[in-house]
Structure 1
Amino acid sequence: MIDHITVAVSDLQKSKLFYEKAFVALGYSLSFGKEDVFWAFDVNDGLFEIMQSNSEAPLTRIHVAFRAKSKAEVDGFYQAALDAGARDNGPPGPRPAYAENYYACFVLDPDGYNIEAMINEALEAS
């Protein structure tokens, strides 16, 4: 399952206003974010995020995070992706800056896109 997708935008404020209005028809709403950096919209069981394209965040123009069922799956994805030719963009490990129980890895696919496998155990427990 996809947990979240992040796309880089040229004008964060303009895109935020656009998605706030357009997502009303789908029942989606703004969830959280940080002014001048990114905004996340709750889209049912996942997040759609927009990020200022000149942000210093370690993301690429498109970022996809796949939700794993365990830390072992995150670890397995990381190794399988490297074996398949991906480049390391962050080894498996805790990411407390994201959330207390967030564990993830990051790889760059053949086109250089940032692909993540993650688990947020707090979400899995609820």
Structure 2
Amino acid sequence: MIDHITIAVGDLPKSKLFYERTLEPLGYRLSFGKEDVFWAFDVGNGCLFEIQRPDSEPPLTRVHIAFRVNSKAEVDAFYRAALEAGAADNGAPGPRPDYAEHYYACFVLDPDGYNIEAMINEA
């Protein structure tokens, strides 16, 4: 399952307002964010649609997709398989306490340079 998708936008305040208005009829709401950095919209089932500044720091890229998995072992296996398939390392598997207390993830760059993540956020 896709946990979240993040895209870079040219004008963060303008895009925040745009998505607040256009997602409202679908029942999607602004969930959290950080002023001048990114905003996350709850799109149901624990999934997020996020917008960010285009000059965000790595591991983020202009397009970011995070796959929610069932275990840390799956995060590790995804990472190994991606590297074997030709991905570039963008963050080895491990805890990401700055994201959330139980967040465990890895990041790779696909052949087009997009940041792809496998993650779990459970105790």
TM-score of the aligned structures, taking structure 2 as reference length:
0.97
Partner residue, 2:4: 4
Q: Secondary structure at the match of 1:110?
A: coil
- Residue 80 of structure 1: CA displacement? 0.4
Equivalent position of 2:65 in the other structure:
64
- Secondary structure of 2:70's partner? coil
Match in the other structure for 1:40 = 40
Pairing 1:1-126 to 2, within 5 Å after superposition:
1-45=1-45, 46-122=47-123
Q: How far apart are the structure 2 equivalents of 1:12 and 1:57?
A: 18
- Structure 2 distance, partners of 1:90, 1:103, is 11
Offset of residue 48 of structure 1: 0.2
Percent identity between matched residues is 77
| Structure 2: gaps (5+ residues) | none
The Cα offsets for residues 9-33 of structure 1, whole Å up to 9 and x where unpaired, read as: 0000000000000001100000000
Q: Which runs of 4+ in 1 moved over 6 A?
A: none
Partner letter of residue 36 of structure 1? D
- Change in CA separation of 1:57 and 1:38 when aligned onto 2, cut-off 3 Å: farther
Q: What residue identity is the alignment partner of 1:54?
A: D
Gaps of 5+ in 1: none
> Pairwise CA RMSD of aligned residues?
0.8
Structure 2 contact 59–91 (Cα < 8 Å) conserved? no
Equivalent position SS for 1:59: coil
Deviation digits for residues 60-116 of structure 1 (CA, Å, limit 9, x no counterpart)? 100000001000000000000001000000000000000000000000000000000
